[in-house]
Amino acid sequence: MASKKILILMSDTGGGHRSAAEAIAEAAYRLYGEACQVEIADPWTDHTPFPINRLGRLYGPLVNRGLILWKLIFHLTSSQHGLSLLEKIFWPMVRKSLKDFFCQSHPDVIVSVHPVLTHFSIRALQEANLRIPFVTVVTDLVSLHPLWLCPETDFCLVPTEPARDCALAGGLPIEKVKVVGLPVGLKFARETGEKEALRDKLGLERDRPTILVVGGGEGMGKVYKVARAIAKARVDAQLVVVAGRNERLRRRLEKVEWEIPTTIFGFVTNMSELMAASDVIVTKAGPATISEALTVGLPILLSGFIPGQEEGNVEYVISKGVGACAEKPQLIAATLARWLQAENETLTHMARKAQRLGRPQAALDIAAEIFHLAQAGDSSTQTHHFHNPSLPPRRQRGLIHLE
């Protein structure tokens, strides 16, 4: 049997999209080995003309220093009028490049893990008359921008029940939507070592409660202020602070004379071990970090969120009893001090709920759905059921359909 080619579309706007793509690729190879080939591509950066190929670089500065502007952009583009405007501006500039890319790649199935790529890619396939199965893997936990919700997708795999409700409310047919969890690396599911042994391996104090402070792969947000507030409050714990690719932040952290035991990391590839060695994580409400923490059963203290796509994550974490939100650094420190008191059972209860809520098999389940769809080939005359897929005819229509 010929190897099946899976093309995963992502964009480096935040670390979650790439990590989701890599988790799906890892799971596909684990399940099917040489029976599949996986290509991860960033068509927005690598296959569109200037200045479109530079737009992804604006995301980091926007969400770091221009949240008010980002919130305005998010909400303006959440309307039908805003979506139509996006199409009119960008489609003429990316049309030929996307069509050429898909014609050259010609995979057995295409997977989008980024909202902006979903609509434009499906329209490019339609205009190029390519009947390639298309799967949307939603990588936002709760609050879905309308760009995720393209009825012409063959299947839409979502991480949570609230996301499913949002997809259905956005017009996706019920038979195309399935809750599977958010894909995280398989090492998070495997990480079941004892905290003490992992702390020894990482050079931490084995018997001291451990607080993990992160700002995503790019070291975004108020990591420095939060870490300093915790240390100045002399919380009875040790700190592990991950600066990510933010070298300026790492150097600044390393110059500090810390009031409590503190270990500084830059960009890491062993986040699963750091999480499993910790008692609580302090992070902004990024969906990937939340899902990873749930997979290892780690309580979550949210230090903030990106307006729009991360707002629903805060309510989700709190309502499920797996964490809390405290945006001011001093309040974060006070909350941690209270949780880490010997008689306080909060973290124990949260950890149990997190383990029950996590979906460690999500990447494997998603890879299976995708591979089965690739195997189905051109079976547009059949009816699809999950795990026995075929392709209902896609309606030929534009990116945005106004009633």
Q: What single string gives the DSSP state of each residue in 210-261?
A: EEEEE-TTTT-SSHHHHHHHHHHTT-SSEEEEE-TT-HHHHHHHHT---SS-
pLDDT at residue 24 in the model: 98
| Residues 29 and 156 occupy one common structural domain | yes
Q: What is the pLDDT of residues 68-84, one digit of tens each?
A: 776 777 777 777 777 78
pLDDT at residue 199 in the model: 95
| Residues 18 and 162 occupy one common structural domain | yes
Out of 43-57, 303-317, 370-384, 387-401, pick the least confident.
387-401
Per-residue DSSP letters for 1-70?
-PPEEEEEE---SSSHHHHHHHHHHHHHHHHHGGGEEEEEE-HHHHSS-TTGGGGGGGHHHHHHH-HHHH
pLDDT at residue 121 in the model: 93
Domain of 80?
A: 4-184+360-376
Residue at 398 is within a domain: no
Number of independent structural domains in the chain: 2
DSSP 8-state symbol, 176? G
Confidence label for 50 from pLDDT (cuts 50, 70 and 90)? confident
Residue at 386 is within a domain: no
Q: Distance between CA 150 and CA 115 in Å, rounded?
A: 9
Residue at 271 is within a domain: yes
pLDDT at residue 1 in the model: 61
| Residues 121 and 194 occupy one common structural domain | no
pLDDT at residue 236 in the model: 94
Count CB-CB contacts under 10 A for residue 272: 22
Question: Does the pLDDT at position 85 exceed 90?
Answer: no
| Residues 65 and 20 occupy one common structural domain | yes
**Collapsed DSSP state (helix, strand, coil) of residue 136:** strand
Confidence label for 377 from pLDDT (cuts 50, 70 and 90)? low
pLDDT at residue 66 in the model: 65
pLDDT at residue 90 in the model: 84
Q: What is the pLDDT of residues 214-271, one digit of tens each?
A: 987 666 779 999 999 999 999 999 999 999 888 999 999 999 999 999 999 999 999 9
Confidence label for 396 from pLDDT (cuts 50, 70 and 90)? very low
Q: Distance between CA 28 and CA 38 in Å, rounded?
A: 8
Q: Distance between CA 109 and CA 23 in Å, rounded?
A: 17
Question: Does the pLDDT at position 17 exceed 80?
Answer: yes
| Residues 137 and 218 occupy one common structural domain | no
CA distances from 18 to 42, 63, 109, 184, 326 (A): 9, 18, 18, 11, 28
| Residues 267 and 340 occupy one common structural domain | yes
* Average pLDDT across the chain, whole number: 87
- Any idea what the Cα angle at residue 148 is, between residues 311 and 306, rounded to 5°? 25
CATH, residue 21: 3.40.50.2000
pLDDT at residue 403 in the model: 29
Q: Distance between CA 216 and CA 147 in Å, rounded?
A: 23
Q: What is the pLDDT of residues 171-218, one digit of tens each?
A: 999 999 999 999 999 999 886 668 899 999 999 999 999 999 998 766
CA distances from 317 to 87, 98, 234 (A): 34, 37, 27
| Residues 111 and 160 occupy one common structural domain | yes
| Residues 141 and 272 occupy one common structural domain | no
Question: Does the pLDDT at position 379 exceed 50?
Answer: no
pLDDT at residue 60 in the model: 66
Average pLDDT over every residue of 309-333? 95
Per-residue DSSP letters for 301-359?
EEEE--TTTTHHHHHHHHHTTSEEE--SHHHHHHHHHHHTSTT--HHHHHHHHHHHH--
pLDDT at residue 381 in the model: 31
Q: Which two tokens stand for residue 44?
A: 């927005």
Q: Distance between CA 164 and CA 142 in Å, rounded?
A: 8
